[in-house]
């Protein structure tokens, strides 16, 4: 029976999430429109020597992650492509079941494990990325598979299993480097386990991690090193000193907790105010419950790194979760990078509650958290942007350019780089949109590209900046429904949290008298001529001038949703 249940889950989950992905529509998230389509095209077309950061800093993220989606988008209808992506994301469910079987091996717990796997996949952050290209759902199976391999190891398990586990996890880390905390968590969890050969196993795991990262990221790192003198270009440039980028810091600290008190209470903070760590409102009520149970269990001395052999899998799982969370808190604090832990929350809540309470009370406590977590997707469902399907996933009306082999296109703002694969391939595309850490060497390279090509110069910028999702409107509707006032404690804390949040375009709306409402600092449906003029003004210091009256608006579609763009001649001082 357990084998039948796991087989059914392995078949049903990909089918269900594939169909959900189709129901949501074609992926149209902001990052896709910026770089998830451009990067794999640039790799296949050999654009490193031609272009210069047209999608900003993400122009040089590892394109291997986006390569399958790009290739499939060339040959598959939009619905089939969406189903394929959603089905892969559904693979996380049977892997959660496998992890649960290691922590709860009793055959009587199989139905619970099916429920934990299903509930884990109902987390708001995970659901927000179903079928999309942002990569967190896509790489999660690598980390969960590695964790399952480690947890199911017994005293006589050969060391080669840990090499394989490390290789699988390393492959996921190499595809998306923000998964690195999970690699560290696996290593620490192995070192503090009760296994008598834990040091040898940790060494084997580390070897596998190195091989996996080298396999999926190594070739790209070598390419960046050869072209720019920095294998992570332009990131970590304070260490590598590439002349084409500024000395960027190792981490981006804008999402961090504001101090030790907020850091200590962070799961409560980002559950109450999800835009503290997200750019859209994604809350999961299991976070404060799991965190509160952990603090209580730790205070009671029930969660320890060292474990008896009979309890080793769950203790190893706790160690993995603790290290992964702390590493995330210190290095990123960006919500969607927690998706692997979010998937594990139901199982963690169940295990922690049973360490604190007797079985009946523990089940009641856990279920008290499971009920709102189960209901939330039906009450509030947010994605990063989807579009209705059309006959083709992408359609771009490209401009006609005289002598494209001599012409250069300056990309003045994001996100428009997704249109570039449909332009004449002889063009050179150069980013001047402020999202790249430019150095004097970068600006000199821009001038040398313009001089070497010697032909006409054009500017590219959006004509329409309408976003499909409006989490801000939903938040204001919630505040209005509950009659939250400006002087209420909840509103005062929300103002303080948003003032410290990276989403600086969200501000308190002073025009609503004593009501607690928020607005975007720049509220527009279309990129106005005034806004476009401000963007164009940024390149005048380089002797480049855009006359907006000469711009032409072209049509482009993701699925059936239009995302128009402006294509403008640029005059250059001589």
Summarised one tens digit per residue, pLDDT across range 193-246 is 877 789 999 999 999 999 999 999 999 999 999 999 999 999 999 999 999 999
> Phi first, then psi: what are they for 567, rounded to 5°?
-125, 115
Q: Are 201 and 195 in contact (CB under 8 A)?
A: yes
For the segment 183-201, the average pLDDT, to the nearest whole number, is 91
pTM of the complete model beyond 0.85 = yes
Cis peptide before 415 (omega within 30 of 0): yes
- Which has the closest alpha carbon to 340: 488, 205, 192, 148? 148
Backbone angles phi, psi at 545, to 5 degrees: -130, 135
Q: CB–CB of 31/133 below 8 Å? A: yes
Token pair 């190195």 in the structure block, residue: 210
Q: Which of 32-46, 238-252, 560-574 has the lowest mean pLDDT?
A: 238-252
Handedness of CA 192, 197, 203, 209 (dihedral sign): negative
Residue 521 has pLDDT above 80, yes or no: no
| Residue the block writes with tokens 């900003």 | 56
Average predicted confidence (pLDDT) for the chain: 90
Q: Which helix (H) or strand (E) holds 552?
A: strand 552-554
In which band, very low, low, confident or very high, does the pLDDT at 93 lie, cut at 50, 70 and 90?
A: very high
- CA-to-CA separations, 3 to 97, 98, 107, 511, in angstroms, rounded: 11, 11, 10, 61
- Among 213, 241, 238, 210, which residue's Cα sits nearest to residue 225? 241
Q: What is d(CA 208, CA 215) in angstroms, rounded to the nearest whole number?
A: 10
At residue 531, the pLDDT reads: 66
Question: Which residue intervals of 380-470 are DSSP H helices?
Answer: 440-453
The tokens of 572 are what? 């250059």
Cβ atoms of residues 328 and 342 within 8 Å: no
Query: Of the candidates 486, 88, 134, which has an alpha carbon nearest to the alpha carbon of residue 280?
Result: 134
With a cut of 90, say whether residue 266 has pLDDT above it.
Answer: yes
Q: Choose among 229, 236, 249: nearest CA to 441.
A: 229
pLDDT band, very low/low/confident/very high, at 13 (cuts 50, 70, 90): very high
pLDDT for the residue 473: 63
Cα 533 off chain centre by: 32
| Of 124, 123, 127, 140, nearest in space to 178 by CA | 140
Distance from C-alpha of 237 to C-alpha of 251, rounded to nearest angstrom? 11
- Predicted confidence band at 523 (pLDDT cuts at 50, 70, 90)? very low
The string of pLDDT tens digits covering residues 461-492 is 888 654 433 456 667 777 888 888 888 888 88
DSSP element (H, E) containing 428: strand 428-431
H/E/C letters for each residue in 521-547? CCCCCECCHHHHHHHHHCCHHHCEEEC
Helix-then-strand count for the chain, H and E:
24, 13
391 by Cβ neighbours in 10 Å (0-12 / 13-18 / 19+) ranks as: exposed
φ, ψ of residue 91 in degrees (nearest 5) = -65, -20
3-class DSSP state of 229: coil
Angstrom distance (rounded) from CA 508 to CA 57: 30
For residue 33, give Cα distances in angstroms to 27, 113, 534, 552.
10, 38, 22, 20
Candidate ranges 273-282, 485-494, 514-523; pick with highest mean pLDDT: 273-282
The 10s digit of each residue's pLDDT in 283-314 is: 999 999 999 999 999 998 877 654 444 578 99
Length of the chain measured in residues: 574
pLDDT attached to residue 466: 47
CB atoms within 10 A of CB 75: 8
What are phi and psi for residue 172, nearest 5 degrees? -65, -35
Q: What span, in angstroms and rounded, lies between the C-alpha atoms of 511 and 197? A: 65
What phi and psi values does residue 410 have, to the nearest 5 degrees?
A: -90, 120
Tell me the CA distances in angstroms from 73 to 392, 487, 526, 553, one per residue in order: 9, 51, 28, 25
CA-based nearest residue to 317, from 326, 307, 327: 307
Q: Is-contact 14 87, C-beta < 8 A?
A: yes
**Cα–Cα distances in Å, from 249 out to 163, 187, 239?**
32, 26, 8
């Amino acid at each position: 029976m357990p084998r039948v249940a796991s087989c059914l889950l392995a078949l049903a989950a990909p089918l269900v999430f594939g169909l959900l992905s189709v129901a949501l529509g074609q992926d149209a998230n902001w990052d896709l429109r910026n770089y998830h389509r451009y990067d794999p095209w640039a790799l296949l077309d050999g654009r490193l020597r031609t272009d210069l950061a047209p999608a900003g800093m993400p122009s040089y993220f590892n394109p291997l992650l986006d390569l399958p989606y790009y290739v499939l988008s060339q040959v598959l209808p939009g619905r089939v492509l969406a189903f394929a992506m959603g089905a892969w994301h559904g693979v996380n469910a049977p892997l959660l079941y496998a992890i649960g079987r290691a922590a709860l091996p009793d055959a009587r717990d199989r139905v619970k494990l099916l429920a934990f796997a299903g509930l884990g996949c109902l987390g708001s952050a995970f659901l927000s990325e179903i079928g999309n290209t942002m990569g967190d759902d896509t790489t999660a199976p690598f980390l969960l598979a590695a964790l399952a391999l480690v947890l199911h190891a017994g005293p006589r398990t050969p060391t080669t299993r840990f090499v394989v586990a490390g290789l699988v996890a390393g492959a996921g880390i190499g595809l998306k480097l923000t998964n690195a905390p999970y690699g560290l968590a696996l290593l620490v969890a192995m070192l503090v386990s009760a296994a008598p050969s834990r040091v040898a196993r940790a060494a084997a795991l580390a070897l596998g991690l190195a091989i996996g990262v080298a396999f999926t990221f190594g070739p790209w790192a070598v390419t960046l090193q050869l072209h720019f003198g920095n294998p992570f270009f332009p990131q970590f440039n304070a260490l590598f000193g590439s002349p084409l980028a500024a000395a960027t810091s190792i981490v981006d600290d804008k999402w961090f907790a504001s101090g030790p008190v907020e850091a200590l209470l962070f799961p409560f903070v980002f559950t109450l105010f999800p835009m503290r760590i997200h750019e859209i409102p994604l809350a999961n009520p299991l976070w404060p419950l799991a965190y509160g149970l952990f603090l209580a269990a730790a205070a009671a001395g029930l969660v320890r790194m060292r474990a008896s052999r009979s309890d080793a899998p769950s203790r190893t799982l706790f160690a993995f979760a603790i290290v992964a969370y702390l590493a995330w808190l210190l290095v990123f604090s960006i919500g969607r990078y927690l998706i692997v832990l979010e998937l594990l929350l139901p199982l963690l809540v169940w295990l922690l509650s049973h360490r604190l309470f007797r079985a009946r009370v523990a089940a009641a406590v856990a279920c008290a958290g499971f009920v709102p977590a189960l209901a939330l997707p039906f009450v509030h469902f947010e994605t990063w942007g989807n579009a209705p399907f059309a006959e083709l996933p992408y359609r771009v009306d490209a401009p006609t350019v005289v002598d494209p082999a001599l012409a250069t296109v300056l990309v003045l703002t994001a996100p428009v780089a997704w249109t570039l694969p449909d332009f004449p391939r002889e063009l050179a595309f150069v980013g001047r949109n402020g999202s790249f850490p430019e150095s004097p060497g970068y600006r000199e390279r821009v001038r040398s590209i313009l001089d070497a090509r010697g032909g006409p110069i054009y500017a590219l910028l959006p004509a329409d900046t309408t976003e499909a999702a409006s989490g801000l409107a939903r938040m204001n509707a919630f505040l209005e429904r509950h009659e939250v006032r400006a002087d209420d404690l909840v509103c005062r804390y929300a103002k303080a949290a948003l003032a410290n949040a990276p989403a600086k375009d969200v501000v308190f709306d002073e025009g609503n008298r004593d009501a607690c409402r928020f607005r975007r600092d720049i509220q527009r449906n279309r990129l106005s001529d005034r806004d476009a003029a401000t963007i164009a003004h940024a390149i005048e210091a380089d002797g480049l001038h855009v006359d907006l009256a000469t711009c032409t608006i072209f049509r482009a579609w993701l699925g059936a949703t239009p995302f128009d763009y402006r294509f403008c001649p640029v005059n250059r001082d001589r």
